[in-house]
Amino acid sequence: MTERLIQSIERAADVLELFLTNGPELSVKEISDKLQLSKSTVHGIIKTLEHRGYLQQNPEDLKYKLGIKLFTLGNFVGKHLDIGNIARPIIRELADEVNETVHLVTIQRDEVIYIEKVEGPRALTIYSHIGKRAPVHCTGVGKAILAHLSEKEVDRLLSAASLEAFTGYTMTDVNQIKKQLVTIRETGYAVDDEEIELGLKCIAAPIFNHKGNVIASISCAAPKMRLVEEKLPRVIAGIKSAAAEISKSLGYKGNNF
């Protein structure tokens, strides 16, 4: 199990990923400081990445930013993430119907990742974007997926995630979360009620592939005050049926349990 990892590639990855967290433009010095590597080392890495189009230098201030090659590769990946293509029209329709923002996510490396987003017509926008990652334990989409994984997987994911508390409502007790997963399985949808961000509520439902495994989920996210009373049942029904429709398009045969 001793994998042979190549240091310079890891370092290059460190450099690239630094841009995700530290803003779109960085100087050699900023990078070498953050990564604790010598300027000359960082310079070498950067020039190589630039040469390949993974970074590009701004001639004005000599700073660097992520390059077009990444955009090309990213789009290629997106194209072959076929669930996105299938789900897109369906969630778009749902977003129109409920007048709210709808997200599509999958689970990857212990976290939830947003692969599609349709903004509702209402201007008030939720902070999220395609490619964003979020924890599983305190998002509707995360819990919708968790609820349909094996006990073993759930344990792994909940222990890997540090169960950070983002708000006073975030659940940080594994058993408490597991208990909720039962309800989610029974009702067919998951709720995130200000567990990751105050004022934000989400209703989510799972998506299954042709083998019957959960591979994704969708959610409707809105300011808490908008998901109430008469509207809530409509949103729940909408999310559940949209999720079911996507599952069906993916070849899922139905819920036999």
Contacts of 202 (CB under 8 A, 6+ apart): 139, 140, 141, 191, 192, 219, 220, 221, 222
In the bound complex, what is the minimum distance in angstroms from residue 59's beta carbon to DNA? 9
99: left (phi over 0), alpha (psi -120 to 50) or beta: left
- Smallest separation, CB 65 to DNA (Å): 12
Tokens linked to 130: 């395609």
Query: Which CB, 12 or 144, lies closer to DNA?
Result: 12
CB of 8 to DNA, least distance (A): 4
Position among 39, 65, 156, 179 found at the interface with a second copy (CB under 8 A): 65
Instruction: Specify whether the CB–CB gap between 199 and 167 falls below 8 A.
Output: no
Which residues here bind DNA, judged by CB under 7 A?
Answer: 1-9, 11, 27-30, 37-41, 43-47, 57, 62-63
Alpha carbon separation from 235 to 61, 122, 206 (Å, rounded)? 49, 15, 15
The length of the chain in residues reads 257
Contact between 142 and 154 under an 8 Å Cβ cutoff? The reply is: no
Which residue, 62 or 123, has its beta carbon nearer to DNA? 62
Residue 27 interacts, among DNA, a second copy, none and using kind-specific CB cut-offs from 5 to 8 Å, with DNA
Q: Indicate which of a second copy, DNA, none lies near residue 131 (CB less than 5 to 8 Å, by partner kind).
A: a second copy
Beta bridge partners of 190: 204
Q: Which of 22, 29, 39, 71 binds a second copy (CB under 8 A)?
A: 71
Could you identify the residue written with the tokens 């998002």?
139
Q: How far is the CB of 14 from DNA (least distance, A)?
A: 10
105-164 binders of a second copy (CB under 8 A): 108-109, 113, 115, 129-133
Supply the DSSP string of 56-124, one letter for each residue.
EE-TTT--EEE-HHHHHHHHHHHHH-HHHHHHHHHHHHHHHHHTSEEEEEEEETTEEEEEEEE--SSS-
Interaction between residue 34 and a second copy (CB under 8 A):
no
Closest approach, Cβ 89 to DNA, in A, equals 19
* Closest CB 134 distance from a second copy, rounded Å: 12
Separation between Cα atoms, residue 26 and residue 212, nearest integer Å: 45
Q: Which residues would be at the binding site for a second copy (CB under 8 A)?
A: 3-6, 8-10, 12-13, 16-17, 19-20, 24, 43-45, 47-49, 51-54, 56, 65-81, 85-86, 108-109, 113, 115, 129-133, 210, 249-251, 253
